[in-house]
Structure 1
Amino acid sequence: MKPAGQRHKDEFAKDPAQALEQLMDAFGAIVLRTAFFYTGDSHLAEDISQEVFLRAYRKWTAFRGDSAVKTWLTTITVNVCRDKMGVRMFTEQPTEPAKLDLGRTISVEEQALERLKKSEVLQHVLRLPLPYQEALYLYYYADLSTREIAEATNTPEGTVRNRLHRAREMLAREMGKEGDFHDGSGA
């Protein structure tokens, strides 16, 4: 069964300019959210999103369609984020939400990103080591399969499954320590 939202190249226009518009409509939000997840900076995430779609435009005719378009764009996004962030990606990420600039109008995208940033579960996820954060984000938020995550991150699929398993265990322990994780028994 193909996950929801997985579309293939033949569902898009052959002309790169037309395909770009379709790609941005279909996947703009997930590319922006993924870039924000990696960077923690809404402005940098917007810059990365633009670069991702520019690369997609340039490579559209060379893209063979061996993977779903969403997987291909996620791969580009992950690579651009890693390029931009470099060493900073592997340092501990702050868990405190950034202060909003109250003197300006906030777009719908910025509001959505701010809600994501403030998410209680995400705060626990951000305390995990980066490889586990990445696996959880791409699996649960980006809705990629373990095979697609392996492709997007250039990691063996077994490693991705292992990271997901360990990340779930660590997250359950972390949330259990603070009394936030309920077993569903009503107790």
Structure 2
Amino acid sequence: MNEFGTIVIRTAFFYTGDAHLAEDISQEVFLRAYRKWHTFRGDSTVKTWLTTITVNICRDKMSVRMFTEQPTEPGKLELGRTISVEDEALERLKKSEVLQHVLRLPLPYQEVLYLYYYADLSTREISEAISTPEGTVRNKLHRAREMLAREIGKEGIIHDG
């Protein structure tokens, strides 16, 4: 949990947009991993295995509604609460300007960009995590980069020079 807790909670937050639900999912991920540790064959890294579990739980919980709701405003949550490291990471993630542009892209492209750049998974690991052929992941990642560049360019952030 110490080594992979941040990536699990960030991934859950990315999928759900809700800090409390992300915390619940994170707990569920580690409980499931503990119960199923004997089934881990080592074909992938522990990080990839936990990311796969996280993605699957998020998909189960969110079903088709992924990304349709805006993230919960941390400022509107329990006042006076001490901010944890996870909450701080979630806040930074939410405020990321690039992430706001990523969230405007179609769902499959959001997912591969997040897993590649934010979760720091390789295309092979993403392929395992989302049960999609690696070639398809590479194709989605390429298209996502192109779409993101166009999206950011619309806002005038990228200046041709």
TM-score class, shorter-chain normalisation, is over 0.9
Question: Structure 2-normalised TM-score?
Answer: 0.93
Q: How does 1:1-187 map to 2 (within 5 A)?
A: 24-89=1-66, 92-94=68-70, 98=73, 100-101=75-76, 103-105=79-81, 106-182=83-159, 187=161
Gaps of 5+ in 2: none
Q: Which runs of 5+ in 1 are unaligned?
A: 1-23
The separation in 2 between residues aligned to 1:175 and 1:97, in whole angstroms, is 24
- In structure 2, C-alpha distance between the alignment counterparts of 1:147 and 1:170, rounded to whole Å: 22
| Post-superposition offset of 1:107 | 2.1
Q: Residue by residue, what CA displacement relative to the aligned partner does 1:81-139 show, whole Å, maximum 9, x if unpaired?
A: 000101211x6343x76251372222232122011101110000000011100000000
Shift of 1:182: 4.0
- Tell me how far apart the structure 2 counterparts of residues 73 and 97 of structure 1 sit (CA, whole Å): 24
What letter matches 1:49 in structure 2?
S
Shift of 1:156: 1.0
Against the structure 1 CA distance between its residues 99 and 51, is the aligned structure 2 distance closer, same or farther, given a 3 Å change threshold?
A: closer
* TM-score of the two chains, using structure 1 as the length reference: 0.80
Secondary structure of the corresponding residue to residue 26 of structure 1: coil
Fraction of identical pairs, as percent: 78
Task: Please tell me whether the aligned partners of residues 75 and 153 of structure 1 are also in contact (alpha carbons under 8 angstroms).
Answer: yes
Contact 2:48 2:121 in 1 (8 A): yes
| Equivalent-residue separation in structure 2 for 1:80 and 1:104 (angstroms) | 30
In the aligned structure 2, how far is the partner of 1:70 from the partner of 1:176? 33
Higher Cα radius of gyration: 1
Change (3 A) 1:166 1:62: same
